[in-house]
Amino acid sequence: MLFDIKAFMHKPLKIENSNAAYLLLLTQHNSDCEEFWAIFLNHQLELLGHKLLHRGTLNYCKIHPRDLFREAVKHNAYSIIIAHNHTSTSCEPSEPDIKLTNQLRKVSKLIEIPIIDHIIFNNFGFFSFKEKNLF
C-alpha cells in the first residue's frame, strides 16, 4: 500500500468573511489595551498568517503603513484584513479609526495588496467596514 501524504496534510483555513476573522482573533487579543492585528491571505482567502503589529494603550493604537505592508510582503499576501480591538463595549469606529483605514487603503491600492476589510472587535462582537459598506 502506498503512503498518501495528502491524507495527513491539514486543509488550509479559509477566512471568507468577517465572522471567521473575528473568531480567529477573539481568543488571541488582550482586552485590557488596544491592539492592531493583520490577517494575511492568499488569492483563495486561505490564511497565510496573522500577526499582532502593535499594542497600544487603553483607548489608542497607532500603526504605520510600512509596518503593515512589510509583514504583508514577508507573508507573500495577496490581500489583508486589518483588525483592532476596542476595550469598551462599543465596536463603532471612531473618526481616527476611519481616517487610519482610509490612509492604509490608499497605500494598499498603490502597492496592489488590497485591504479587504477592517474589523473592530471586542469580547462581545465586532464591526466590519466591509459589511457596513464602508469599503
User: CA dihedral defined by 111, 116, 118, 119, rounded to 10 degrees?
Assistant: -150
| β-bridge mates for residue 117, sequence order | 81
Q: pLDDT tens digit string along 37-82?
A: 999 999 999 999 999 999 988 777 889 999 999 999 999 999 999 9
Q: Break the chain into its structural domains and give their ranges.
A: 29-128
Q: In angstroms, what CA-CA distances link 93 with 50, 58, 97, 98, 127?
A: 22, 15, 6, 6, 8
Cβ contact 92:83 at 8 Å: no
Q: Give the contacts of 19 (CB within 8 A, at least 6 positions apart).
A: 126
Q: pLDDT tens digit string along 2-46?
A: 555 555 556 789 999 999 999 999 988 777 889 999 999 999 999
CATH architecture of 29-128: 3-Layer(aba) Sandwich (3.40)
Please give the DSSP secondary-structure letter assigned to residue 130: T
Residue type, 25: L
